[in-house]
């Protein structure tokens, strides 16, 4: 059993702390946010992640997981200290390191014995050495030693517990083989592949991995846009590409682009790192530009289907950036819905989890429905932005009957085009041919 402190109870810190406790360690999760700690001590989870509440409650009851605002005491009581605080994107695009530096100072002030300090946060290359300097400068007892390790996370929101408990690899970066071996031993119950390297390489691996996946997404979205112009089907194209073992089929699902807490932030951060290092990373900057433009293909398809949007009622299904999370960071809905309102449309939105979070970020005149069916009733068009299970499983016959005009703009390719054609929808998706386009169906659709 290891004695672990995790500084930060955000997405990464809370999931990691709960999973470390689940495999038998004693874990203290600490945060300066009293509200978060009070919620957690009442077994209430401040984020939405399937299965997390049950895991937190179980490990609290068994005495392996504690929550506190006493960060200093938590540091002193542990042998391994994880830094898992936020590194949000700053106005310049680089990672904001204030919280990491604050955690490093706190660790230095409360270093009461040898500890392994582990960066779990996504941080720029060179942060490990910077944390070492800050801890060293703030030590009360100069003779006490410590080690720095980089152990980046690779958690997907919505499946984070499974990703952690069944992780496909653990990256461990350190200049001390003994410290690296301790963190490797910590990961043994996960039965994962361990790759050990130096601090800087571990930090770069995280950015390189995320930006490569973002590149695959932007690439297939660009291919989808070409497919629409030349009459190809992007899903067939992606399937054929994915048969090549050098490419693989993952992250080749065309849509309206990536969002969330990682890809947008990490692509900008790596572009900034490259600029600072004197390298013009034009490929990555093109990925970012492609992603920014992709979400607005929804607007082009709406205009083609309806003409002007003034006075139209538009149902928006899905607000979070992906299913099984309430994370609204860089969600396409935050760009698309204000544009709909600006063009004179009335918006009625539905999301099974993220509606409350979204309502704090979207304009006040957005209406919220209790179900997908309620959202689309009487609408001139339905826009799908998130492929929630209850959106994908909608009763299409009921939806078709309840809509004023059966226009569906599917930003996630949820439905089969042949079925949508058979059911009489005017259906636009991404990288596939439109079905019953307005000019084709004008005679049968009462506008």
Q: Please report, in range form, the residues annotated as the binding site for NAD(+).
A: 31, 36, 87, 122, 157, 265, 329
d(CA 157, CA 154): 10
DSSP H helices in 118-173: 127-137, 160-165
Calculate the CA dihedral of residues 153, 328, 396, 418 and round it to 10 degrees. -60
Hey, which residues does 313 pair with through a beta bridge? 346
Report whether 139 contacts 218 (CB < 8 A). Answer: no
Q: Are strands 146-150 and 169-174 parallel, antiparallel or unpaired?
A: antiparallel
From the list 117, 108, 37, 116, the residue with the least C-alpha distance to 83 is: 117
d(CA 94, CA 74): 30
CB contact set of 277 (below 8 Å; sequence gap of 6+): none
Phi, psi (deg, nearest 5) at residue 426: -90, 105
Calculate the CA dihedral of residues 361, 365, 368, 373 and round it to 10 degrees. -130
CB contact set of 212 (below 8 Å; sequence gap of 6+): none
**Among residues 29, 164, 227, 262, which one is catalytic?**
262
CA-to-CA dists, residue 339 to 141, 346, 381, angstroms: 57, 11, 15
DSSP H helices in 117-158: 127-137
Report whether 30 contacts 6 (CB < 8 A). Answer: yes
Report whether 134 contacts 105 (CB < 8 A). Answer: yes
Is residue 262 among the annotated active site residues? yes
Query: What residue has token string 């990925």?
Result: 287
d(CA 17, CA 36): 15
CA angle 218, 220, 223 (to 5 degrees): 110
What does the chain come to in residues? 447
Task: Express the helix, strand and coil content of the chain in percent, nearest 5 each.
Answer: 45, 15, 40
Cα end-to-end distance, the chain, whole Å = 68
Q: Which of 383-402 are b and which e, b meaning 16 or more Cβ less than 10 Å from the residue's Cβ?
A: bbbbbbeebeebebeebeeb
Annotated binding residues: 31, 36, 87, 122, 154-157, 206, 251-255, 259, 265, 322, 329
Residues that are catalytic:
262
């Amino acid at each position: 059993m290891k004695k672990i402190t995790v500084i930060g109870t955000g997405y990464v810190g809370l999931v990691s702390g709960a999973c470390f406790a689940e495999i038998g360690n004693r874990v203290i999760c600490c945060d300066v946010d009293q509200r978060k700690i009070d919620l957690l001590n009442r077994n209430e989870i401040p984020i939405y992640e399937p299965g997390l509440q049950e895991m937190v409650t179980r490990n609290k009851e068994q005495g392996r997981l504690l929550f506190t605002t006493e960060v200093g005491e938590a540091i002193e009581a542990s042998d391994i200290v994880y830094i898992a605080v936020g590194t949000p994107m700053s106005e310049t695009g680089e990672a904001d390191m204030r919280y990491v530096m604050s955690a490093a100072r706190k660790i230095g002030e409360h270093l009461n014995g040898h500890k392994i300090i582990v960066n779990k946060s996504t941080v720029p290359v060179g942060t490990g050495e910077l944390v070492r300097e800050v801890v060293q400068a703030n030590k009360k007892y100069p003779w006490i030693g410590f080690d720095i390790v980089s152990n980046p996370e690779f958690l997907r929101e919505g499946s984070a517990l499974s990703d952690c408990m069944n992780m496909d690899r653990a990256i461990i970066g350190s200049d001390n083989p003994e410290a690296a071996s301790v963190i490797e031993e910590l990961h043994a119950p996960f039965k994962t592949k361990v790759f050990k390297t130096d601090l800087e390489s571990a930090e770069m691996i995280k950015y390189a991995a995320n930006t490569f996946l973002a590149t695959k997404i932007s690439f297939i979205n660009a291919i989808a846009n070409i497919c629409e112009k030349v009459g190809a089907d992007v899903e067939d194209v992606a399937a054929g590409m994915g048969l090549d073992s050098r490419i693989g089929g993952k992250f080749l699902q065309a849509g309206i682009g990536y969002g969330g807490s990682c890809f947008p932030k990490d692509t900008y951060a790596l572009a900034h790192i490259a600029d600072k290092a004197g390298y013009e990373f034009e490929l990555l900057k093109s990925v970012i530009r492609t992603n920014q433009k992709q979400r607005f293909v929804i607007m082009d398809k709406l205009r083609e289907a309806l003409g002007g949007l003034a006075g139209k009622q538009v149902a928006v299904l899905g607000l979070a950036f992906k299913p099984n999370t309430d994370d609204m960071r860089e969600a396409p809905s935050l760009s698309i819905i204000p544009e709909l309102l600006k063009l004179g449309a009335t918006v009625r939105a539905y999301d099974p989890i993220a509606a409350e979070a979204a309502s704090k970020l979207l304009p006040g005149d957005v209406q919220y429905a209790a179900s997908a069916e309620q959202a689309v009733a009487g609408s001139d068009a339905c826009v799908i932005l998130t492929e929630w299970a209850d959106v994908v499983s909608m009763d299409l016959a009921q939806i078709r009957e309840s809509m004023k005009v059966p226009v569906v703009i599917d930003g996630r390719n949820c439905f089969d085009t042949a079925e949508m054609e058979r059911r009489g929808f005017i259906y636009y998706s991404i990288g596939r041919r439109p079905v019953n386009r307005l000019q084709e169906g004008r005679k049968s659709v009462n506008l």
